[in-house]
Amino acid sequence: MKFWRSNPSNSTVNEEHKRIIQQYGGAVSPSDCNAVIWKLYVEPTLIQAQQKAHFAASPLKRQWEGRPVLTAVVNSDDVNACALPGVDADYILIYRGLLERVLGYALALFSTQEFLPTIGEAGNELPYSQTMVQMSQRANLKTARAPLEPRCPIRAASGTILSILAINAVVSHEFGHIVGGHFDLMSDVRAVPAGIDELRAQKGDLDLSIPLACIEWDADHYASCLCWCTQDAMPFSGPIIDCFAKSFSERQSMSIVIWSLAVHVLFRCLAVESAGVPKFAPDKYPPPSLRGLCFVLDMLNRTSFMRGANHERDVEVFRFLDQAENFDAHDGVIVAGHDWFQNWSQTRPDWYERMSNLFHEHRDQLEAVRRTQVTWRPIWKKNA
């Protein structure tokens, strides 16, 4: 059984695939990229997506077993990715703009000597006062250049690995929309493939039976679950792992911290968050910092459930992330942990608990369209 196919044999699916890719700017191919960038960044991203797709396929219900999911990088400047339902297949599109933004931001962080100084020769990098890292900085896949690049090869490689994992989390989130059956909550959408936002614009908010925040929360949880389950297949090798391994007593702690840093890079690239406490808004995307922290907490909770509670593990993870808050002193744009915890304490009564209750209210609807044989959703008890 194949859940992911780069060259589907079904001619109808193949034509639909081509049409969708052209609709979103055409596919990015090796000829569109610098050879090194393709080999070290774009190709590993697609390989990781394929590995996750195979893993996600194993628990599918019978009626979904033969339905392929096709993944492509499309030539669009937008910082985005999307899942699309087709007639006989589903699609995940990763936009070139997202790849460039994530890689550019990760390389910029590692080009600053204050960011994770234990990795490589951080002393050779420039101080923040000279780099002035901004989230909008992009790498160029064609020229293999970025506005800020680490001088240390180890730090450059670390930024690339972190970028691959960040895009991995995006792909896992999009799988969450597909495996969670989110498109099945909307009627008559398969004739015209479109993403969640496009479908909402076409059909109106009232046609979506579950609030957007709840659907995004659901996809985020599946992403954390899929990343946790496939973490042994991650491209963890080389100096970045050697540096991290010295700081943690077990691989699980190290894995969760690296994932948390990757998710931090991702959410900081996707949305600029205001300094104020966001209000609870069921029909909008949840705050990025809250989504990032919940991703990490999900992985910690799953680790504790599957491998046993370990207070030292939790302390190791949060101590590391707390240390990263020192980098926040320079500029609110650069955050590696502090705002997650501060925002978490401020918004938990207004967001997390209300989000949990909202999820509980719609759980039966979500479970009815789930495409897997077993549930992967958490069970939150509704508050009295």
Q: What is the mean pLDDT of each run of 10 residues along the chain (384 residues)?
A: 44 80 90 91 86 83 85 91 86 92 89 83 85 73 89 90 89 92 67 51 54 88 84 57 66 76 79 60 77 78 70 69 48 41 55 81 90 78 43
User: pLDDT value at position 118?
Assistant: 78
**Residue 21 resides in a domain:** no
- Compute the distance between CA of residue 209 and CA of residue 212 in angstroms, rounded to an integer: 9
- Compute the distance between CA of residue 270 and CA of residue 287 in angstroms, rounded to an integer: 11
**Residue 261 resides in a domain:** yes
- Compute the distance between CA of residue 237 and CA of residue 101 in angstroms, rounded to an integer: 24
Beta strands 81-85 and 69-74 are unpaired
- Compute the distance between CA of residue 80 and CA of residue 351 in angstroms, rounded to an integer: 24
- Compute the distance between CA of residue 146 and CA of residue 102 in angstroms, rounded to an integer: 11
The alpha carbon torsion through 374, 377, 378, 382 (nearest 10 deg) reads -110
Which of 177, 222, 214 lies closest to 358 in space, CA to CA?
A: 214
**Residue 34 resides in a domain:** no
**Residue 39 resides in a domain:** no
The DSSP code sequence of 102-122 is HHHHHHHHHTBTTSSTTTTTG
- Compute the distance between CA of residue 258 and CA of residue 381 in angstroms, rounded to an integer: 30
40 contacts: CB under 8 Å, gap ≥ 6: 160
User: pLDDT value at position 178?
Assistant: 92
Based on the structure, what is the number of domains in the chain? 1
**Residue 51 resides in a domain:** no
330 contacts: CB under 8 Å, gap ≥ 6: 114, 128, 129
- Compute the distance between CA of residue 211 and CA of residue 70 in angstroms, rounded to an integer: 27
Beta strands in the chain (DSSP E): 69-74, 81-85, 90-95
User: pLDDT value at position 240?
Assistant: 63
User: pLDDT value at position 231?
Assistant: 66
Which of 74, 65, 69 lies closest to 52 in space, CA to CA?
A: 69
Question: Global pTM?
Answer: 0.85
**Residue 307 resides in a domain:** yes
267 contacts: CB under 8 Å, gap ≥ 6: 288, 289, 291, 292
User: pLDDT value at position 1?
Assistant: 29
Place of tokens 């401020």: 346
- Compute the distance between CA of residue 113 and CA of residue 110 in angstroms, rounded to an integer: 7
10 Å Cβ neighbour count for 247?
Answer: 14
**Residue 298 resides in a domain:** yes
Domain of residue 155 covers 98-369
**Tokens found for residue 321:** 């992330």
- Compute the distance between CA of residue 368 and CA of residue 125 in angstroms, rounded to an integer: 53
User: pLDDT value at position 47?
Assistant: 85
